[in-house]
Amino acid sequence: MASWLSDSLTIVERHPSDVNGGRRRLTATGNSRTMRNIKDMWASNAPRSGENPEIPDKLYFRIGEVSRVSGVKPHVLRYWETEFPAITPKKSGSGHRLYRRKDVELILEIKRLLYEERFTIEGARKYLGQKARRQAARGAKAPAQGELFETAPEGVPNLEEIRRELREILEILSRPVGG
């Protein structure tokens, strides 16, 4: 890293929607570790805030793929698994984490809450819990187990009709052949 970067770092990125010629300027000062982290963050191909990364159409994703899609390092993803019980990757036979699409979408939502909305981990956990409860309340009430067997849906024969038809089939089969 160049010696001038240890004192300050200026990164210019073009955004056509911004004023002043479409430029946004970030200036940071600090130690070399801070400079390196800021440079890595802005130089990476990770999606910037406000961008919705495209999630590939796959059943399972390894932790490296999730890391690239979300822009979150693998050790942070592993930590989030301990903090957010809804992130539940399966383990392959060799012990690799296999994330489903819903896990990747949840990780992107957590990243947005933590990095853009500036939630704490506890606050993000509570927010996601409330969001899940609201969605469950809006959804249709699941029928009780007993209700599933009380009446047949319209157009589906009931049990008595099925028994009657089976008896008729049995009578037909019990008749002598050729008679």
User: In this predicted model, what pLDDT tens digit does every residue of 170-179 receive, in sequence order?
Assistant: 999 998 887 5
Strand pairing report for 97-100 and 90-91: antiparallel
- Kindly state whether residue 51 falls inside one of the protein's structural domains: no
Asked if residue 72 and residue 39 are part of one domain, the reply reads: no
Q: How far is residue 39 from each of residues 6, 15, 29, 65, measured CA to CA in Å?
A: 11, 18, 12, 22
Asked if residue 126 and residue 66 are part of one domain, the reply reads: yes
Tens digit of pLDDT for each residue in 94-138?
A: 999 999 999 999 999 999 999 999 999 999 999 999 998 888 888
- Kindly state whether residue 53 falls inside one of the protein's structural domains: no
Asked if residue 38 and residue 71 are part of one domain, the reply reads: no
Q: What average pLDDT does the segment 71-88 reach?
A: 96
Q: What average pLDDT does the segment 74-86 reach?
A: 96
The number of C-alpha atoms within 13 Å of 85 and in the hemisphere containing its C-beta is: 3
Could you give the CA distance from residue 31 to residue 170 in angstroms, rounded to a whole number? 88
Instruction: Write the single-letter amino acid at 42.
Output: W
Asked if residue 32 and residue 84 are part of one domain, the reply reads: no
Average pLDDT of every residue of the chain: 77
- Kindly state whether residue 171 falls inside one of the protein's structural domains: no
Q: Which two tokens stand for residue 1?
A: 């890293």
Helix (H, G, I), strand (E, B) or coil at 11: strand
Asked if residue 69 and residue 36 are part of one domain, the reply reads: no
Asked if residue 90 and residue 28 are part of one domain, the reply reads: no
**pTM given for the model:** 0.53
Q: Which range among 45-54, 97-106, 113-122, 149-158 shows the weakest confidence by mean pLDDT? A: 45-54
Asked if residue 34 and residue 102 are part of one domain, the reply reads: no
9: containing domain: 3-43
Q: What number of residues does the chain have?
A: 179
Question: Which pLDDT value is given to residue 5?
Answer: 42
When divided into structural domains, the chain yields a total of 2
Question: Which pLDDT value is given to residue 151?
Answer: 65
- Kindly state whether residue 129 falls inside one of the protein's structural domains: yes
Is residue 9 within 8 A of residue 27, CB to CB? The reply is yes
- Kindly state whether residue 130 falls inside one of the protein's structural domains: yes
Is residue 117 within 8 A of residue 126, CB to CB? The reply is no
Question: Which pLDDT value is given to residue 159?
Answer: 81
Q: What average pLDDT does the segment 40-48 reach?
A: 49
CATH of the domain at 72: 1.10.1660.10
Asked if residue 64 and residue 24 are part of one domain, the reply reads: no
- Kindly state whether residue 88 falls inside one of the protein's structural domains: yes
Asked if residue 65 and residue 21 are part of one domain, the reply reads: no
Asked if residue 82 and residue 126 are part of one domain, the reply reads: yes
